[in-house]
Amino acid sequence: MWGYILIAALLGLGLWFSIQLKFAQFRYIPEMFRVLFDKRAISAKGKKGTSAFQAFTISTASRVGTGNLAGVAAAISLGGPGAVFWMWMIALLGGASSFIESTLAQIYKIPERNQYRGGPAYYMEKGLNNRKLGIVFAVIITFTYGLVFSSVQSNTIRLAFENSFGTDRWVMAAILTLIVGLIIFGGLKRIAQVTQYIIPIMAVFYIILAFYVFFNNFGMVPDMVAMIFNGAFGFQEVAGGTVGAALMNGIKRGLFSNEAGMGSAPNAAATSEVTHPVKQGLIQTLGVFTDTILICSATAFIIMVSGDYVQSEADGIQLTQLAFENQLGQWASIFIAAAIFLFAFSSIIGNYYYGETNIEFINNGSNGIFIYRIAVLLMVIFGAMSEFTLVWSLADLSMGIMALINLYAIAKLSKVAYAALQDYSRQKASGQDPVFYQDHLPGVSGMSYWRRDQTAEKEQQSS
């Protein structure tokens, strides 16, 4: 019952947001690329926040990881090929949810020292005037991302290396703890620098390999597509009760992978230096599509072509490794082990930041951050030593609670995001590079930034 409540909320609100935005997640795809690769989006030198491109890579660091390789494999092995269809649906409709939550994160962000802070906890306090709800969310996301999801990532790395190299659990736990510790004690700027280089490199190599397998088996594409749709809606699947399994596993693993509406990506979206909040909303929507429509689909196709998901006893990432090995040879299993190390490791970094910014929201003190960093390292060890089903069950429960709280908040504040998009569209129609100020949204209170005296450089940036 709990899982179906989450599914109804994700799909129902995603459709409602899409209608209200007139399906902006599709209409603005060309604009998403223009904003992402604009020179002002790539460089943030000398500014308070990260660049829009760096904020994109931080959030993508969390999205592109275990969910794309181990999560897809788990969804197909438990729900069949039909699970892929529901992963697509949660991405296509969730793009609207992602746009709203990331735009709100920018609108309600706060300048703090040499950077910006923001996310669901902040727009719950500033937009809904409900700090208590913001604190509840901050605690849950810190536990979910900083701790539980970090254990999922380290667990996946351990399984991959155990499968390919026979690496001992303790050895993998020690290596991961050392590397993660060196980075998270370096702060946000180092996180942005690391993810800005890791994400494009690992994504490009993985996609190249996946598309090689795709074109090498191009004749099977119609059969694969038919299997996906039959698995989602077919008569045999309905009669056998497997449609529910496909729906449940596709939505859960899709949510874990692309995070649309969960309330995680807005924490990274708020950190960027942009001239208009909608720009970051568009960039984060592109991240949802990149994650699920491209990378998850490529993984799903390879697993389906291999056919190993039918009777295999492998868990998650090991099933993906087996599928690649069957298609490309034994070396491919080693490649996947290396790829999942990069994917999952970068996810730990991105997840860590989500917890840090929410601890700052609860109590802006260095002691809390230090304790949190130690807890993250302990959970990395825990994940590397635990079993697959334990860490994923913890992840499913905690992310469901977090998503429902965030969906409630963005539903209440969605009109603010709609108005921001209308403002952006008006400026674009008049030939301007959109610039935002508080007075563009009369009647909207709670904004700590975007006053004209705070943002004097924006007009120069957009000229």
- Residue spans of beta strands (DSSP E) within 33-186: 110-112, 115-117
The pLDDT of residue 66 is 72
Q: Select from 255, 243, 246 the least CA-distant residue to 13.
A: 255
Number of domains in the chain: 1
Runs of H (alpha helix) within 234-308? 235-240, 242-258, 265-269, 277-289, 297-306
Apex 264 CA angle, 156 and 36, nearest 5 = 100
Torsion sign over Cα 25, 26, 28, 33 = positive
What pLDDT score was predicted for residue 240? Answer: 46
Tell me, what CATH number does 244's domain have?
1.20.1740.10
**Percent helix / strand / coil, the chain, rounded to 5:** 80, 0, 20
Strand partners, 111: 116
| Predicted local confidence at residue 405, as pLDDT | 95
**Cα Rg of the chain, angstroms:** 21
Range of the domain at 81: 2-462
What backbone torsions phi and psi does residue 112 show, to the nearest 5 degrees?
-145, 115
pLDDT of 214: 79
> Could you tell me the CA-to-CA distances from 231 to 99, 202, 221, 359, 384 in Å, in that order?
30, 31, 15, 43, 34
Distances 225 to 26, 229, 326 between C-alpha atoms, Å: 22, 6, 21
Q: Return d(Cα 66, Cα 297) in angstroms, integer.
A: 14
Check residue 222 and give its pLDDT. 86
Q: Average pLDDT for consecutive 10-residue bins of the chain (463 residues)?
A: 76 94 95 81 56 66 67 80 87 93 95 84 94 93 89 88 85 89 71 63 75 83 86 59 65 75 85 89 89 83 76 69 84 82 78 81 76 92 88 85 94 96 95 92 91 63 50
- Report the pLDDT value the prediction gives residue 416, as an integer from 0 to 100: 96
3-class secondary-structure state, position 448: coil
Identity of the amino acid at 231: G
In this structure, what token pair is assigned to residue 462?
């957009």
